[in-house]
Chain A
Amino acid sequence: MNIIYQTWPWYVSGFLIGMVMLALIYFGKNFGMSTNLQSLCSMTGLGKRISYFDFDWKANRWNFVVVLGAMAGGFVAVHFMSDSSNAAINPETIAQLSQLGIDAPNGKLMPEALFGDQIWQSPKSILILLGGGILIGFGTRYAGGCTSGHAISGLSNLQLPSLKAVIGFFIGGLIMAHFLLPLLF
């Protein structure tokens, strides 16, 4: 049963993610996580001031249930299905990160340097997380989708706009990973 605790191979994981998308299509819905950001804003009544949020968010309640399920899945996977072999990334990556002062995984999913308890006392760390979030929220809503809506659903339906979005994701990601992260850490 070790297979359950180890890192799941890419071919199993990729297949299951594809099936999640197909299941939602079969239910008459579509796979898109960033739509929930728009629905959450709409729930607060922002639609009275900003027309982008003026829609029937209740029609997207099913997607909140998917999110709740995903949160529960994350909890179970982290607390009952993990072991110290997890996040065994490339040793070269670990060496590179240590030069930036970012700790090695050693079974952890997230680096302490960005997500450890000390960040509650560090305005800089909090600003990095907030800033990253703003770029994600603004970008996914401007592009009309994220990894699930464009990279998985859109490309599966051979949509050219989704390919443009995915190229954008990689341009932004490469700029951040190669040029900006070393300036921030």
Chain B
Amino acid sequence: MNVLKYFLVGFLFGIVLTKSEAVSWYRIYEMFHFQSFHMYGIIGVAVATGILGVQIIKRRNIKDIKGLPIEIHEKDRGTARYLIGGISFGLGWALVGSCPGPIFILIGAGFLPVIFVLIGALIGTIIYGALKSKLPH
């Protein structure tokens, strides 16, 4: 169960992202052209569910599965890294239509050309790691 629960959560995530078509290049293109509400609806309801859940966890001091207090990390302060990094990711997202989750989901589903996107993403990660100390954060 220890490992299985992560697999099952991932399995649900893979099915939902595929069946909602959030993994589809077409849906991302359509979203960035404001030609459908679909993707905005998905992200909006996911965030609304998340906000509600996180508030319940905080207000009722709900413990995690091991009985430990739940701590949700605050993001580091800053602006440059979020905007510049965000713009870079957005450019890639709209070009190949997949964010990191869908890259793996699509490869699993058998879309082998997406392997090139994964190789690129690993190269991009290495570039960031190598330049990290020289970049504004």
Q: A147-B99, A156-B47, A164-B86 are in contact. Are A172 and B114 (CB under 8 A)?
A: no
Interface string of B111-136 (1 = CB under 8 A from A): 10110111111111111111010010
List residues of chain A with CB within 8 A of the CB of B119. Answer: 130, 133
Task: Give, as a whole number of angstroms, the nearest-CB distance from A103 to chain B.
Answer: 10
A interface, CB within 8 angstroms of B: 4, 7-8, 10-28, 30, 33-34, 36-38, 40-41, 46, 50, 52-53, 62-63, 65-79, 81, 86-87, 89-90, 92-93, 96-97, 105, 109-111, 114-116, 119-120, 125-126, 128-148, 150-162, 164-178, 180-181, 184
Interface string of B90-103 (1 = CB under 8 A from A): 11111111111101
Closest 9 CB pairs of A and B: A168-B86, A133-B120, A73-B14, A172-B90, A69-B10, A71-B108, A137-B124, A14-B45, A18-B49
> Which single member of A17, A110, A143 contacts B16 (CB below 8 Å)?
A17
List residues of chain B with CB within 8 A of the CB of A133. Answer: 92, 96, 103, 116-124
List residues of chain B with CB within 8 A of the CB of A150. Answer: 75, 82, 86
Q: Is the CB of A161 within 8 A of B75?
A: yes
Task: Give, as a whole number of angstroms, the nearest-CB distance from A170 to chain B.
Answer: 6
B interface, CB within 8 angstroms of A: 3, 5-33, 35-51, 53-54, 57, 62, 64-66, 68, 70, 72-79, 81-101, 103-111, 113-114, 116-130, 132, 135
**Interchain pairs with CB closer than 8 A, number:** 500
Q: Give the distance in Å from the alpha carbon of A170 to the alpha carbon of B21 in the complex.
A: 19
Give A76's nearest chain B residue, CB to CB.
B15
List residues of chain A with CB within 8 A of the CB of B19. Answer: 4, 7-8, 13, 77, 81
Give A118's nearest chain B residue, CB to CB.
B113
Q: Is the CB of A105 within 8 A of B42?
A: no
> Which single member of B40, B46, B82, B121 contacts A143 (CB below 8 Å)?
B82
Q: Is the CB of A73 within 8 A of B13?
A: yes
Q: Is the CB of A90 within 8 A of B35?
A: yes
Task: Give, as a whole number of angstroms, the nearest-CB distance from B85 to chain A.
Answer: 3
> Which single member of B6, B86, B96 contacts A172 (CB below 8 Å)?
B86
List residues of chain B with CB within 8 A of the CB of A147. Answer: 43, 93, 99-101
Q: Is the CB of B13 within 8 A of A146?
A: no
Give B129's nearest chain A residue, CB to CB.
A52
> Which single member of B18, B53, B72, B105 contacts A18 (CB below 8 Å)?
B53
Which of the listed residues A24, A30, A38, A146 has the most CB atoms from chain B within 10 Å of its own CB?
A146
Q: A69-B9, A155-B47 are in contact. Are A173 and B72 (CB under 8 A)?
A: no
Q: A89-B27, A139-B87, A168-B87 are in contact. Are A27 and B96 (CB under 8 A)?
A: no
